[in-house]
């Protein structure tokens, strides 16, 4: 009987071996996937087991952590708190015990909880010296003054809207505001009565204003006349016109090629064969529509893409891709070139357009995380400015700057004038939307400020969607330009 006994012994050995192999698969190969699965409750427990690191603006934290009572079944020790939550939520996102995390709170979760591999050495040291594990900080590029100006401007306007401000030379995001907004503190815990109720009230299903939508990064609007800056850049870059003073070949009225439809201007404007400077000053649809049609879809698309259209941006928070369509005929290209038809842009995108012009044609990659710090303030990672593309040459950029400065000096954007040695260049926009343009249009304003030494510290994009406003009142110059002005002033004052 011993021969089969030995075989049974081998069989039992194989059973144990199978278990050992399975265990290695589970606890070695698959371990990290299982461990970091967001549905694994341990991820949440770890996230709130220590005071979370902070998100920092101008050297001061805009977030905090408070100890919750761990009596009963609550296994989460700390809760996130926010200072000026509604103002900063487009930057921070939320970290909620019950509803997870998003945006910066989620993307930099490893640093904030202290679990990131880059903190391994520090954590090991802390373990040896007996210090509790602490999360690191996320230092943002934002400017508190600019953000405040942006948010309070939107709030006093009362309608929905968003503001993005960039530093043209680096791509640093200085302001990122969205209105209406929400306070992430209101649902940071996991109480079913208060937190769940607050969360529910913020959902689009129950709240048509959709306060949790980050309009600065995630909503695309038809950019309207502000897109004419891109069209003008395309005209200069492709040599269609070589200076701001060239008379354009623009008949009035102008019938779009391939159609019998006339493209209308807003009112009786002096657009017949106007120079580009004049056309941008009074915002001629005919002139820029015809430039688009003359250049054609391919060249317009190429220029729009250089400005960042048709691509998501990672700041590191993802922004939606702005749209400039391909395969359009001449009339569609003409409409798209004045920011109508399918063209749609995020506020971030239009701020990038203004900032590329201000930075002598160089488009810098927009970013909002300056550096990551460990809990003892050592820098772990630093973001370096990075050039994304060069949508136009330095010479052409200066031509476009002088055109945009004319718009503010004696055109549609006079509300953005600052004075005191500060030159402002800008462009207004009033975008039609809705079926047969029935809804109230969006008011846009994009601009940059230039100091007396020629440096440009800030570029801004403002969009207001005000459903209650009188249709005639909505013009970029009237509603949006004052907000852009106060944001630019805030940045300039903070510099001095």
Partner 1 sequence: MSSTSNTSTHHTSTIGSIGAPSRRNTELALLVFAVAIPVFAYANVGLAINDQVPPGLLSYGCGLGLLAGVGHLAVRKFAPYADPLLLPLATLLNGLGLVAIWRLDQSKLLQSLPNYVTAAPRQLLYTAMGIGLFIVVLIFLKDHRVLQRYTYISMFCALILLLLPLVPGLGANIYGAKIWIRVPGLGSLQPGEFAKIILAVFFAGYLMVKRDALALASRRFMGLYLPRGRDLGPILVVWGISILILVFETDLGTSLLFFGMFVIMLYVATERTSWIVFGLLMSAAGAVGVASFEPHVQQRVQAWLDPMREYTLSQQGVFGHSEQSMQALWAFGSGGTLGSGLGQGHSELIRFAANSDFILATFGEELGLAGIMAILLLYGLIVERGVRTALAARDPFGKLLAVGLSGAFALQVFVVAGGVMGLIPLTGMTMPFLAYGGSSVIANWALIGILIRISDTARRPAPSPASNPDAEMTQVVRP
From the CB of 191, what's the least distance to partner 1, in Å?
17
| String of DSSP letters for 24-46 | HIIIIISHHHHHT-TTSHHHHHH
Residue 132 DSSP one-character state: P
Binding status of residue 128 toward partner 1 by CB under 8 A = no
> Which stretch, 29-37, 206-214, 269-277, 279-287, contacts partner 1 (CB under 8 A)?
29-37
Q: Which is nearer to partner 1, 20 or 311 (CB)?
A: 20
**In 359-447, which residue ranges form alpha helices assigned H by DSSP?**
394-410
Residues 142, 428 contacting (CB under 8 angstroms): no
Binding status of residue 311 toward partner 1 by CB under 8 A = no
Which pair of tokens denotes residue 387?
A: 């050039």
Q: Which among 343, 350, 263, 353 has a CA at the least distance from the CA of 301?
A: 343
> x/- contact string, 68-87, with partner 1 (CB under 8 A)?
----xx-x------------
The catalytically annotated residue of 89, 225, 283, 486 is 225
CA-angle at 287, arms to 285 and 288, nearest 5°: 70
Q: Which is nearer to partner 1, 28 or 206 (CB)?
A: 28
| String of DSSP letters for 191-257 | -TTTHHHHHHHHSTTT-TT-TTS-HHHH--B--GGGGHHHHHHHHHHTTS--STTSBP---SSEEPT
Binding status of residue 209 toward partner 1 by CB under 8 A = no
* Total site size for partner 1, rule CB under 8 A: 38
> Which stretch, 30-38, 151-159, 377-385, 443-451, contacts partner 1 (CB under 8 A)?
30-38
From the CB of 372, what's the least distance to partner 1, in Å?
25
Member of 32, 67, 467, 472 binding partner 1 (CB under 8 A): 32
Cα four-point dihedral sign 211, 214, 218, 221: positive
Q: Which is nearer to partner 1, 41 or 247 (CB)?
A: 41
Q: Which is nearer to partner 1, 114 or 457 (CB)?
A: 114
C-alpha span between 90 and 104 (Å, rounded):
9
Active site residue 225: yes
Residue showing tokens 């805009």:
62
Binding status of residue 35 toward partner 1 by CB under 8 A = yes
Binding status of residue 205 toward partner 1 by CB under 8 A = no
From the CB of 127, what's the least distance to partner 1, in Å?
12
Binding status of residue 33 toward partner 1 by CB under 8 A = yes
Binding status of residue 206 toward partner 1 by CB under 8 A = no
**Which segments within 301-375 are labelled E, that is strand?**
313-314, 318-319, 363-364, 369-373
C-alpha span between 102 and 80 (Å, rounded):
13
From the CB of 464, what's the least distance to partner 1, in Å?
42
Residues 315, 175 contacting (CB under 8 angstroms): no
Which positions ≥6 away from 306 have C-beta within 8 Å? 363, 389, 390, 391
Which positions ≥6 away from 440 have C-beta within 8 Å? 465, 466, 467, 469, 471, 474
> Which stretch, 21-29, 190-198, 377-385, 471-479, contacts partner 1 (CB under 8 A)?
21-29
Binding status of residue 27 toward partner 1 by CB under 8 A = yes
From the CB of 39, what's the least distance to partner 1, in Å?
7
Q: Which is nearer to partner 1, 21 or 311 (CB)?
A: 21
> x/- contact string, 36-75, with partner 1 (CB under 8 A)?
-x-xxxx--x--------------------------xx-x
Q: Which among 444, 456, 443 has a CA at the least distance from the CA of 491?
A: 456
Catalytic annotation, residues: 225
Q: Which residues bind to partner 1, rule: CB under 8 A? A: 1-9, 11-13, 15-16, 18-20, 22-24, 26-28, 30-35, 37, 39-42, 45, 72-73, 75
């Amino acid at each position: 009987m011993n021969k089969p006994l030995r075989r049974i012994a081998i069989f039992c050995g194989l059973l144990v071996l199978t278990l050992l192999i399975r265990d290695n698969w589970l606890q070695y190969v698959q371990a990290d996937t299982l461990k970091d699965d967001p549905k694994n409750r341990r991820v949440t427990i770890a996230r709130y087991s220590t005071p979370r690191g902070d998100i920092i603006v101008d050297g001061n934290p805009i977030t905090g952590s408070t100890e919750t009572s761990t009596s009963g079944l609550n296994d989460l020790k700390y809760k996130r708190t926010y200072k000026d939550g509604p103002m900063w939520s487009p930057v921070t996102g939320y970290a909620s015990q019950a509803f997870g995390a998003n945006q910066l709170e989620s993307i930099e979760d490893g640093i904030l909880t202290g679990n990131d591999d880059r903190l391994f050495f520090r954590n090991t040291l802390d373990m040896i010296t007996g210090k509790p594990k602490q999360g690191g900080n996320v230092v943002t590029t934002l400017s508190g003054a600019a953000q405040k100006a942006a948010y309070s401007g939107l709030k006093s306007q009362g309608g929905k809207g968003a503001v993005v401000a960039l530093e043209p030379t680096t791509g640093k995001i200085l302001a990122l505001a969205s209105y209406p907004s929400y306070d992430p503190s209101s649902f940071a815990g996991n109480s079913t009565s208060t937190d769940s109720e607050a969360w529910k009230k913020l959902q689009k299903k129950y709240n048509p204003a959709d306060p949790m939508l980050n309009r600065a990064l995630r909503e695309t609007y038809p950019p309207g006349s502000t897109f004419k800056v891109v069209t003008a850049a395309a005209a200069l870059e492709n040599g269609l016109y070589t200076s701001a003073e060239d008379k354009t070949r623009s008949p009035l009225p102008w019938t779009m090629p391939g159609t019998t439809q006339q493209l209308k201007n807003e009112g009786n404007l002096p657009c017949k064969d106007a120079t580009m400077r004049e056309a941008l000053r009074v915002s001629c649809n005919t002139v820029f529509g015809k430039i688009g049609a003359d250049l054609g879809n391919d060249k317009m698309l190429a220029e729009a893409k250089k400005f960042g259209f048709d691509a998501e941006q990672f700041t590191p928070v993802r922004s939606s891709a702005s749209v400039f369509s391909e395969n359009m005929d001449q009339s569609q290209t003409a409409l798209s070139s004045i920011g109508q038809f399918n063209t749609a842009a995020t506020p971030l995108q239009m701020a990038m357009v203004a900032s590329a012009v201000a930075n002598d044609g160089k488009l810098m990659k927009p970013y909002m995380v300056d550096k990551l710090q460990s809990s003892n303030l050592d820098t772990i990672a630093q973001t370096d400015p990075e050039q994304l593309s060069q949508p136009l040459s330095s010479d052409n950029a200066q031509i476009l700057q002088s055109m945009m400065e004319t718009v503010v000096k004696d055109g549609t954007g006079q509300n953005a004038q600052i004075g005191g040695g500060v030159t402002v260049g800008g462009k207004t926009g009033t975008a039609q939307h809705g079926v047969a343009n029935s809804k109230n249009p969006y008011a846009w304003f994009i601009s940059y400020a230039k100091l007396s030494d020629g440096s440009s510290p800030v570029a801004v994009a403002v969009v207001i969607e005000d459903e209650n406003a009188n249709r005639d009142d909505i013009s970029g110059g009237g509603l949006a330009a004052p907000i852009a002005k106060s944001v630019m002033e805030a940045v300039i004052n903070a510099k001095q």
